Structure 1
Amino acid sequence: MGFEIRKDRGPQGRKKLERERAEYFRLMESGYSSQAACRIVGVNRRTGKRWRNGTNPTSGRPGAPPVTEAPRPSLLSGRYLNESDRIHIADRLREGASLRTIAAELGRSPSTISREVRRNRTEGARNDWHYRPHAAQARANQRRARPKPGKLVANPELRGIVQSWLEMKWSPEQISQMLRRRFPDRPDLRVCHETIYQALYVQGRGELRRELIRALRTGRAYRKPRRQAQQRQPRYATPMVMISERPAEVADRAVPGHWEGDLIIGKNHLSQIGTLVERTTRYVLLVHLPTDRTAETVRDALVTTMRTLPTQLKRSLTWDQGSELGLHYEFTMATDMPVYFCDPHSPWQRGSNENTNGLLRQYFPRGTDLSVLTRDDLDTVAAELNARPRKTLGWETPAERLARLLATAN
């Protein structure tokens, strides 16, 4: 503790204890009890109570307001916890409610409540703790204050270490990780790599010498902006037709002939096979790709596979936005099948195909070298899957359902 009790402890008269009072409130905001804070700054606990709560008027003297200002109403949006939320948390914790129950009552995520209690609780003796709402609110206000001085400005020792390692041409990420290894017991000597970049690039901060930029591997004096939303390059040379434009008959699975496709990748990402699933019957076709998965190879293999089907089973193909289907327009021209593309990171839009890929992992576990499989191997696996009864088909097999639909159509 850096505070020293003054040696002159005589009556102060009109001279107030400004230094002691300021340190008292700083300790209170840090989570100390009033009694402990009074002992550290060297004042009577009644003095601390009078600073914090004020005094009531008596016959001999008028009352005095608290030294601290009354809490101002929060101007923050409802996104953040406010003082009333923290009072509710403290009351419910005292009643023994769980964090999930409190989160549900406040309409918050359980992780928000857990993080709030962990950050702003008051540590006590014997490794116990308690949650004080007003102290938690003070900590949150102090943490939220902006602008804050940069960590490299406030800590000359850390700044010197970072500058010396930059001169050795270490990258900011190497510096960040080495600080953790060299000083495991010094959290004040830790800094993330982004803070170092900000200190070098952001004008006006002046936390690190500008000439140290030359020590970076890029040697740039300014950050190079990456592509912006309005500057994104098209995924394919030929524009995609998105799944939102797919006909309604595809979604309700009433008409056969609409397929979902994807690739299964093998050991070390060096081998692959293509999977095709008919949406109505869950009929599976496996595409042989023994050499690579370039756009030309995938196009030719899909065209060859689709040419084995009758016309009524060639209506559309739904795929994700993988580069292997970059020549989708040429596939459409060769087969007269339009290709619809799913939205990014939306595998549920090809649910039947994703489910089938999971079934195929029974035959081809992750880490399998798929390049050793022959065309006959793939046909055997596809035949087994197509002869397996499915609950979603009323315990019919995909082969039976497809044959029945084709017979009805004929």
Structure 2
Amino acid sequence: MQKHKHLTNQHRSIIQDGLTRGQSFNAIAKQIGKDPTTISKEVRKHRSVHFGSDWLRAPFCQHFERCQRQDLCNRTTCTKRQCRGCRSCHENCLDFEPILCPKLTIPPYVCNGCIERNRCRKMKMEYAALPAQVEYELTRRESRSGSCYTEEELSTMTRILTPLVRGQSIHHIVVSNRDQLFCSERQIYRLVDQQLIGIKAIDLPRKVRFRPRKKKRNYKVDTACRQGRSFKDYHDYLLEHPVPVVQMDTVEGKRGELNCILTIYFPASGFLLIFPRQQNTASSVTACFDHLREQLGPEDFFRLFPILLTDNGPEFSNPSRIEYAIDAHRQTRVFYCDPGQSQQKGSIEQVHTILRNVIPKGTSLSELSLADCQRIASHINSYFRKELDDVTAYDTFKRLYGKEILAKLGIEKIPPREVHLSPKLKERTNG
């Protein structure tokens, strides 16, 4: 039996063929010289959801019979009186709960070889060799960069390392907490350098005397964050779901400072939101979206953010915390531009030129508050721009979503004569 060898594309083709013919994991494992548990893990990891061509005729959602939801997609071209008759209702509804076949909870966990496959109208799970190979190769590439720790694990390490502020060394803490820590002493130093835990270099008396290394690295919270969220996936999704896209990015301030800004841009209306962040980390981005969820509520949040497009920065590497609410309902979808292709979200890059009139490069952002950011955004959104047909972004956004949402976002309309787009505006807000 071959051990410590990865599955190949040929192996996966044999697995798919065996599942289609109704073979057991044991039988498939013998053909390719692997352990049956390897086959089981492979199938469960790379199976995908599939809806048959006739699934609309079946109550595939647990709430199908009593559902009265309407206008979930906000598309003016939609002709459905009720959303439950739409092929995309499960993509847009916060209350969607699929009816799962009980056979999917036992081997082989997929519908490939099921004799009732052609008659069954429930949501199906399938294993296909080619997509599984693509997912595996993407995971292998992504796993070679970034941090593999979750937000919960990083929070746990922060709690354990708190005695550092009392003068204890990392070595002392590691030795006294061997049963709680799940990484090496060297890795903890790296996490401090990456600013992924709530400990700063200044808390390490000897470390601040060392000269920092010139090479800078990018670290990601979820190294597999791009799986199913690439720019190609983004285009494929838009073809089936033509919904408004929202772009987001980071604007940095003075060199050497941790403070930065999160910008969120609505190309359809030219509307801009700005949020201050204490450091450029994934947790600071998710905190901004937690704030938006709290201010807007689930319905308005879902209306405003059907799709988010951003770059591959490590601060955006925890998409699940952005996409899902606390109650595990999906409220948005995050997609990524191709590496080094910032023009794929050119709209937000263009509006940054206006923002830089107020906050030039090299400006300190350490004293910028949320109220300051809302004031700056209000001036930018009240500015007449030629590309918006001489209509302000504030008025366009108000027409699309209503004045109540603008109030929740803290954005006001500035009279045309009072619009100020220079560094003096930032000085006035701080003052």
Q: TM-score scaled by structure 2?
A: 0.38
**Higher Rg of the two aligned structures:** 1
Q: Which has the higher helix share?
A: 1
- What TM-score do the two structures reach when normalised by structure 1? 0.40
